Amino acid sequence: MTSTATAPPPAPRQEHREPGRRVVLQALSGLMMGMFVSILASTVVANALPRIISDLGGSQSAYTWVVTTELLAMTATVPLWGKLSDLYSKKLLVQLSLGLFLVGSLVAGLSQGIDVLLVSRIVQGVGAGGLTALAPVILATIVSPRELGRYSGILGAVFAVGTVAGPLIGGVLVDTPWLGWRWCFFIGVPLTAVAIVLLQRTLNLPTTRKEVRVDYLGAALLMTGVSTLLVWSSLAGNQFPWGSWWTVVLVGGGLLILVAALVVESRVPEPVLPLSLFRIRTVTLSITASFLVGVAMFGGTVFLSQYFQLSLGKTPTQAGLLSLPMIFAMLISSTVSGQLISRTGKWKSHLVLGGVLLIAGLGLLGTISATTPVVLLGCFMAVLGFGVGLLMQNLVLVAQNDVPPRDLGAATSSISFFRSLGGSIGVSVLGAVLANRVGTLTAEGFAAAGIPVSGHGVVPNLSQLPEGVAGVVRSAYGVATSELFLIGVPMAVLALVAILFIKQIPLKTQSAGERLAES
């Protein structure tokens, strides 16, 4: 009698259950606090900048550089932070970025001159680059793309709340004599420390370390090339003519350095910016749209606070209140859109609608002047806010859904990098355009009114100017600011074209961590 050995039945496959909403929110509490601090520190100075530049004796170019230096540092370091997140502990990296942000805030608050302030803004920008790159990567590691819309909406809400609170808090601090603008930087120090502690206690991620070499040469070349082009875009048209030999040197040098960076990136095994990502149609179009949205959005909106104060004659606190329509519109559109995307799995219509509203908002703001009614201005800003809220997080979601999990950090940071790059270029170029147009318009206004010109190029304090001079300045800033939004309209149109060519791909139901484990 023979006996046959029966193989034991295969063990049932254990399906990974995605953590509940409460667990995810608890794990992300420190991360959201860090994002809130970063956004708050960036927006809290928006309404304080005219006073800061005036107190430190800066010019319109200095005003632009205070914004540009942080954007530049953030933009240049985002790809490196993203690549490091694919190799090392994301938790440790995000805590390091918050530590840099804390140091930069302290130095900024203690600065006694424009030069020190600019250095501190660079340190803040490096820290902000880490938060910008790591926050969506950590979220995508925990949550599947199908559910990511829900939590991206929550992050969008955090973004909106920080943006709302920043200008209001900054305005109150500047208008309070015993506090002043320095507290716009000091206020972020304790909040950053709390974020670091929360991250240590609540965020638990597996430590991923691969025995590979980070492409620091490629990162250095990439940062140097981008920085060179941004320096040129900030100075051209103001410090030297656009067609001067300085343009040839800076643009030519920057492009050659970027070509060298591309050569290095194509040959190393672990590039900071993997060129293979650009073979994925969804990623390429999302990057293109994000870049154009950055140019159109940051390039115009960053100068709105200056318009409120120098054209409409509002106080810093009033300027913060005037920004509420745009911020609430961003809050509503990002939150509602995230919920709808998670419920239906459809995202294309949200992006298309966002692109249309972005164009409409920029076009409407291109009609403003020193006499535009506040209610009408609020309606224009709300339209722009709805468009931005529909685009910002959803473009990242679309790209994350269509990349291999091993390249999640690099792909996410690439979206953030090009959006920040577009914003930096927009702020730099349009800041130079604004400075040039304001100088031209004020000179023409002074000549027509028979007023002698003095202090050309310095950001004025309207309360210290005679009424005739103040009227010319208000009119000049109103006209020049409206022209910036009109310049942004073609960029928004091109962004919409890129969005229309993105294919509707079903959202995956597994998180990046699950997909990486399976592969």
Averaged pLDDT, groups of 10, the chain, 519 residues long: 45 46 70 77 72 74 72 76 77 87 87 84 86 78 70 69 71 79 84 82 64 72 82 73 85 91 83 80 89 76 79 79 83 84 84 94 91 91 90 82 73 77 77 80 77 58 69 85 89 92 78 61
- 248 and 349 share a domain? no
Q: Would you state the pLDDT for residue 518?
A: 62
Q: Would you state the pLDDT for residue 13?
A: 43
For 416-434, give the DSSP string: HHHHHHHHHHHHHHHHHHH
Gap between the Cα atoms of 228 and 435, Å rounded: 20
- 265 and 318 share a domain? no
Instruction: Report if residue 4 sits inside a domain.
Output: no
- 170 and 99 share a domain? yes
Residue among 318, 440, 67 nearest 58 (CA): 67
Instruction: Report if residue 12 sits inside a domain.
Output: no
Domain range enclosing 255: 215-269
- 229 and 337 share a domain? no
- 353 and 363 share a domain? yes
Gap between the Cα atoms of 370 and 311, Å rounded: 5
Which residues, at least 6 apart from 225, have a Cβ–Cβ distance to it below 8 Å? 254, 255, 256, 257, 258, 260, 261
- 290 and 399 share a domain? yes
- 232 and 303 share a domain? no
Gap between the Cα atoms of 159 and 166, Å rounded: 10
- 350 and 475 share a domain? yes
Q: Which pTM was predicted?
A: 0.74
- 255 and 279 share a domain? no
Q: Would you state the pLDDT for residue 5?
A: 44
Alpha helix ranges (H) inside 323-407:
324-344, 348-365, 374-401
Q: Do 34 and 98 contact (CB within 8 A), yes or no?
A: yes
Q: Would you state the pLDDT for residue 351?
A: 92
**Residue 298 belongs to domain with CATH number:** 1.20.1250.20
